[in-house]
Copies of this chain bind each other. A is one copy, B any other.
Amino acid sequence: EHPYIRAVVDGFDVDFVPCFRVDPEGGLISATDRTPLHTGFVLERLFPGGSNEVRLLKRFMKGVGVYGAEVRVGGFSGYLCELLVIRLGSFVKVLEEAVGWSDGMVLEFGESDSGGIGGEFSNPLVVVDPVDPHRNVASAVSETSLWTFVAAAKAFLDEPRESYFYPVDPQVEASELHGVLRSFGSRLLFVVVDDGDVGVPDVLWGQLYKSKKALIELLRGADFQVVRDGVWSDETSRHLFVFELESDVLGCSKKRMGPPVRIVDDSAHFVEAHLDAEDTVSGPWIEGERWWVEKLRPFRDARSLIDSVLEDGGRGIGVSRKLSIWIKEGGRVLVGDEIEEFLEPGLSLFIYRFLRGKPVWLE
């Protein structure tokens, strides 16, 4: 996070971000020192009419949900859009090119002294910064954002429509959403967190994504199949995690693998530990080269698993420290239509879209 000032000037929100004037050949002093260099490069290289092409590209990306390098989006920055247009010539040419992209695609600029340095990055998309060849301008672009853009580009080129640029939010009727929520039933698991101290968006979304990942790993580790996952926040006081499970109740027992018979000590311990244990359903037995045993599951249903783990806020499984405090304070685990008492327009739209599961251009 850079220190900066926000102000309203002539009715516009303006961010004032300070930086040092540096010699391009020397090193940087602060992270924003590249910005004037970027601006200089774009002003010098963008052809006449190019700004309109950039505007089209940015608006298209915004429409399909991949515009912005912020943590929440994990998409394409404005500077990246400018570079793509400079490099490829026009909005449509960027889309045409994107349709042919492969994984780990590298775009370089002839005038940079990068000399094939693109290979040093491991991001899904690599665009070497012409003013600093050791920087990948597309480092924020997630795999999902990259391929969402590519798929949208293909669909748009096949059948261009204005709605790509200005998608219309559907009117979500409470009764319709209720019906959909009921049809998913308890396979939908929500964690609602009321947060009394929300940080700036990039920090917040970093915490949210980290915590979501921890919860997914918890569920998967307990054999729940997570079909989809999502996270929503009003960015001021409430966050919501949602997980769709293939099934929210598992069989009462599971088969557990033991050591190979030839590892004599481990085998003896395994047999001793499970032979007369209360939670042993059957076995232990030998199958192939190993010992196996059938054990009762400590948690058969996802809600009680999450409930038990969130008693301490989830710190132990990797929920971010700050969020875990608020989860412990007042986190709630809900299933299916229990979420209805928390619905507000933004959240309703999020859940509706989550359950539909389609990119906007397929709606």
Task: Please determine whether B358 and A284 come into contact, CB atoms closer than 8 angstroms.
Answer: yes
A289 / chain B contacts, CB cutoff of 8 Å: 103, 124, 143, 146-147
Which residues of A (66-103) have their CB < 8 Å from a CB of B? Answer: 99, 101-103
Chain B CB within 10 A, most for which of A147, A245, A283: A147
Chain A interface size, as a band, is: 35 or more
Which residues of A (163-197) have their CB < 8 Å from a CB of B? Answer: 187
State the CA gap A107–B320 with chains docked (Å): 57
Which residues of A (262-314) have their CB < 8 Å from a CB of B? Answer: 262, 264, 267-268, 271, 275, 282-291, 294
Identical chains bound together, number: 2
State the CA gap A290–B264 with chains docked (Å): 45
Q: Give A137-166 as 1s and 0s: 1 = Cβ < 8 Å from B's Cβ atoms.
A: 000000110111011001000000000000
A282 and B355 in contact, given A147-B262, A261-B147 (Cβ under 8 angstroms):
yes
A187 / chain B contacts, CB cutoff of 8 Å: 251
Majority DSSP secondary structure for residues of A touching B: mixed
A253 within 8 A of B: yes
Of all chain B residues, which has the CB nearest A256? Answer: B227
Q: Which of B101, B251, B356 contacts A245 (CB 8 A)?
A: B251
A218 / chain B contacts, CB cutoff of 8 Å: none
State the CA gap A294–B275 with chains docked (Å): 41
CB distance from A101 to the nearest CB of B (A): 7
Given contacts A124-B289, A151-B291, 5 further A-B contacts (CB under 8 A): A143-B288, A228-B282, A246-B255, A285-B359, A294-B357
